[in-house]
Amino acid sequence: MNPNSNSNSNSTMLGIVVVIVIVVGIVSYWWFAMGGAGVSFMPGNGDVKDLQKQSSSDEVASIEADLNDTTLNDLDKEVTDIEKELAAPSPSPVPTTK
């Protein structure tokens, strides 16, 4: 058996594995970028479901009805929670024992 043929088959296998990994990476990135894998906007959130029920009409009366049905009362609630977390003091590092 020629020792060079074993080296060539190993490098060929390595090349095939590298190409497969690259293709899987590109397909995965594309899949998640396009919203694949069943990802939706918080399926348990009733507000989001209400927004998805809006009319697709571009008539003024339909748009006004959609606006009147949209509740934006708690729109800034999450922003205030995030601001509180950012303003909280960071935990001190754990002291190491010598």
Half-sphere exposure of 33 (CA within 13 A, CB side): 6
- Specify whether 56 is located in the same domain as 79: yes
Q: Are 79 and 72 in contact, with CB atoms under 8 Å apart?
A: no
Which amino acid is residue 36, in one-letter code? Answer: G
Number of domains in the chain: 2
Which range among 1-5, 17-21, 52-56, 62-66 shows the weakest confidence by mean pLDDT? 1-5
- Specify whether 7 is located in the same domain as 32: yes
Q: Quote the CA–CA distance of 31 and 39 in Å, as a whole number.
A: 11
pLDDT tens digits, 13-33: 999 999 999 999 999 888 877
- Specify whether 78 is located in the same domain as 46: yes
Say if pTM beats, i.e. exceeds, 0.85: no
Supply the range of the domain harboring residue 49: 41-85
- Specify whether 33 is located in the same domain as 56: no
Task: Answer yes or no: is 96 within a domain.
Answer: no
- Specify whether 16 is located in the same domain as 1: yes
* pLDDT at residue 41, rounded to an integer: 47
pLDDT tens digits, 42-55: 555 566 666 667 77
Q: Report percent pLDDT > 70 for the chain.
A: 67
